[in-house]
Amino acid sequence: MTDRPNAARPGPVAETILYNGVIRTMDAANPVAEALAVSGGRIVRLGTQTEVMALRTEATDLVDLGGRMLMPGLIDFHVHLLSSMIARLHTTALDTADDFDTILGKIEAACARQDGRDWVVAGAYGARALGRMREPGALAALDAVSRGRPVAMQHLSGHGYFANSAALRIAGIDAATPNPPDGEIVKDAAGQPTGLLIESGAWPVTDAIPELTAAGKAEAARASIAYLNSLGITGFADASASLEALQFYRALDDAGALTCWAAFHLALSPTCSGYAADEVKVMREQRRELCGPHMNADFAKIFLDGVPSLRTAAMLAPYASAPDEPPVATSLTLDELTEAIADFDGDGLGVKVHAVGDRAIRMVLDAVEQVRRRNGPDGPQHQIAHGQFITAADIPRLAELNVLHDMCPPLWHPNSASLTHERMVGAERYATVWPVRDILAAGAAVVAASDWRTIAPDLDPWEAMCGLVTRRDPTGRHEGVHAPDQAVSITEVLPLYTTNPAAAMRLGHRTGRLAPGLSADMVMLDRDLMTIEPLAIAQTKVLATWFEGRLVHGSA
Ligand SMILES: [Zn+2]
């Protein structure tokens, strides 16, 4: 450091200078810098050490990056943040274990923990554990590790529970309880409940689990932001937000604790579960007033089809695993979908439509085409969420119609969920899954997001990035490769986590890249993503995260 503090010169001064780094800015005008100066939460200069040190004063904090890579904070454009953090904090993770003794061990540990709660709620156990749960003695074995606490654990599919005797007692389930419509209370040869509860048979138990208090939810909201910051994330879009979620994040923002840019897709459509007409009216009419300075709620959500694992994704061709099954119905007809999007479009709301199957995806594009014709071509950008099975013919329509492809969750490499999908639709259809290279080549707007916590208990953007580059399982647990011809380079992947989602959140002028005038939202990594082996991307560690120039995770 040869530059001297320079307090006399007029012009911008730096509150903080980060120097001696490999700063990958994601800004085309100035892709790499050595140093960066921050003032008032914004970047005031980027460049060589000498250029940036010219802004140093006596009061400037100096941060030595030690030659590490610094990049813009990541943005997770599709996450179910509050509900996922509540589940993370308040359910015991069974990690889809298939071995009954392993499950009992986890329950025993959870029941021994004094967490101030009575119930132990756990999920999810693997499909093969069901065999032992059906055998005599399974309920007694669960009771023996429960210390008298009520225990309820969910099956992987979400369509069944295994509960202990204390939980059954509180729920009022005994030998005399009849099966409800659309459900079963599984009983043994003597007519006693076994603890297995199928579909609506589980409702008395799930209804008996005490709801988290408002204070507990507020704490989960706070924890969710700390969790994102720890992963290097400084922006998120909640894919289907309730009025309650908006209010918890607003309270954080008012307290200066929302250290993330936050966009909300309002659950306004009747296709969203938990649809309550009075709340919807408030959310839609007061969406601007409900938001704090780091929030916007200019998006709506519609569910059109389901998921491949249950064969409810709307495909053009029959499922290879059930060739005679009739095609699944979408939740809305083309006309209904067009009306719904047109209504939101006219109000300036960008609409995210959950569409997984190639038939559902085509329907969204057909609907947006009609909306553009009706409302004019310059309406808000709309979005296809997931878009896993888009056909080659529909790819060019994304850019033509200004429809964003929100690729999530990370199923573009082999894992237990994607391998199930492959079995369902057949290897031939799966050979063209997630055509990322073709979609980028067609000039479409694309983001890669987590959909936390639908496929994994942990959110890991670095593992997901690695999967986009290699199309292989970075953990090595699953063999094979999905559509390797669609792999893309890390240079192509980084915009999917930074500039592209920032633009989709209508925040491209505030965040997503490092440039003068933009918010100082940055992460320091333990490795330079551009120079390492692709498989090593998955183990990336975030050493420090800054939001508006404030250190919000780690140390530097
Ligand atoms: Zn989702």
Do β-strands 69-72 and 22-24 pair in parallel, antiparallel, or remain unpaired? parallel
Do β-strands 193-199 and 160-163 pair in parallel, antiparallel, or remain unpaired? antiparallel
Token pair listed for 30: 């100035």
- Give 303 Cα–ligand 1 centroid separation in angstroms: 10
- Give 454 Cα–ligand 1 centroid separation in angstroms: 7
Contacts of 133 (CB under 8 A, 6+ apart): 100, 162, 194, 195, 196
Across 367-383, b (16+ Cβ under 10 Å) vs e yields bbebbbeeeeeebbbbb
Three-state DSSP at 481 gives: coil
- Give 385 Cα–ligand 1 centroid separation in angstroms: 8
Contact criterion met (CB below 8 Å) for 237 and 505: yes
Contact criterion met (CB below 8 Å) for 454 and 82: no
- Give 237 Cα–ligand 1 centroid separation in angstroms: 10
Q: What is the pLDDT of residues 22-62, one digit of tens each?
A: 999 999 999 999 999 999 999 999 999 999 999 999 999 99
Of the candidate CATH numbers 3.40.50.620, 1.20.90.10, 3.10.20.30, 3.10.310.70, the domain formed by 118-208 belongs to 3.10.310.70
- Give 239 Cα–ligand 1 centroid separation in angstroms: 6
CATH 3.20.20.140 fits 214-547, yes or no: yes
- Give 260 Cα–ligand 1 centroid separation in angstroms: 19
- Give 406 Cα–ligand 1 centroid separation in angstroms: 10
Token pair listed for 27: 């800004």
The amino acid at 509: H
In this predicted structure, which of 177-186, 213-222, 402-411 has the lowest mean pLDDT? 177-186
- Give 313 Cα–ligand 1 centroid separation in angstroms: 14
Q: What is the pLDDT of residues 168-202, one digit of tens each?
A: 999 999 999 999 987 899 999 999 999 999 888 99
The per-residue pLDDT for 95 is 85
Please tell me which residue, 4 or 95, carries the higher pLDDT value: 95
- Give 238 Cα–ligand 1 centroid separation in angstroms: 8
Quick one: DSSP state of residue 188? -
The per-residue pLDDT for 153 is 96
- Give 139 Cα–ligand 1 centroid separation in angstroms: 34
- Give 153 Cα–ligand 1 centroid separation in angstroms: 22
> Ramachandran region of residue 506, left (φ > 0), alpha (ψ -120 to 50) or beta?
left
* Residue 102 CB neighbour total at 10 angstroms: 15
Please tell me which residue, 149 or 457, carries the higher pLDDT value: 149
Sign of the alpha-carbon dihedral angle for 257, 260, 263, 267: negative
The per-residue pLDDT for 3 is 46
Rounded alpha-carbon distances, angstroms, from residue 430 to 207, 224, 393: 39, 34, 16
Across 407-416, b (16+ Cβ under 10 Å) vs e yields bbbbbbbbbe
Token pair listed for 26: 């994601």
Token pair listed for 246: 């908006």
Contact criterion met (CB below 8 Å) for 328 and 360: no
The per-residue pLDDT for 1 is 43
> Bridge partners of 69?
22, 525
Sequence spans of domains, the chain: 118-208, 214-547
- Give 255 Cα–ligand 1 centroid separation in angstroms: 28
Please state, in angstroms and rounded to a whole number, the distance separating the CA atoms of residues 240 and 247: 14
Please state, in angstroms and rounded to a whole number, the distance separating the CA atoms of residues 503 and 72: 14
> Ramachandran region of residue 39, left (φ > 0), alpha (ψ -120 to 50) or beta?
beta
- Give 458 Cα–ligand 1 centroid separation in angstroms: 15
Rounded alpha-carbon distances, angstroms, from residue 77 to 49, 142, 326, 382: 34, 40, 34, 13
- Give 79 Cα–ligand 1 centroid separation in angstroms: 6
Rounded alpha-carbon distances, angstroms, from residue 403 to 396, 437, 509: 10, 17, 20
**Residue 204: is its pLDDT beyond 50?**
yes
Q: What is the pLDDT of residues 438-484, one digit of tens each?
A: 999 999 999 999 999 887 889 999 999 999 999 999 999 899 999 99
- Give 457 Cα–ligand 1 centroid separation in angstroms: 14
Measured at the CA of 286, the angle between CA 282 and CA 290, to 5 degrees, comes to 105
Rounded alpha-carbon distances, angstroms, from residue 170 to 116, 187, 209: 18, 18, 9
- Give 449 Cα–ligand 1 centroid separation in angstroms: 9
- Give 80 Cα–ligand 1 centroid separation in angstroms: 6
Quick one: DSSP state of residue 439? H
Contacts of 248 (CB under 8 A, 6+ apart): 82, 217, 218, 221
Q: What is the mean pLDDT of residues 162-166?
A: 97
- Give 322 Cα–ligand 1 centroid separation in angstroms: 26
Contacts of 30 (CB under 8 A, 6+ apart): 46, 47, 515
- Give 183 Cα–ligand 1 centroid separation in angstroms: 26
**Per-state percent for the chain, helix, strand, coil, to nearest 5:** 35, 20, 45
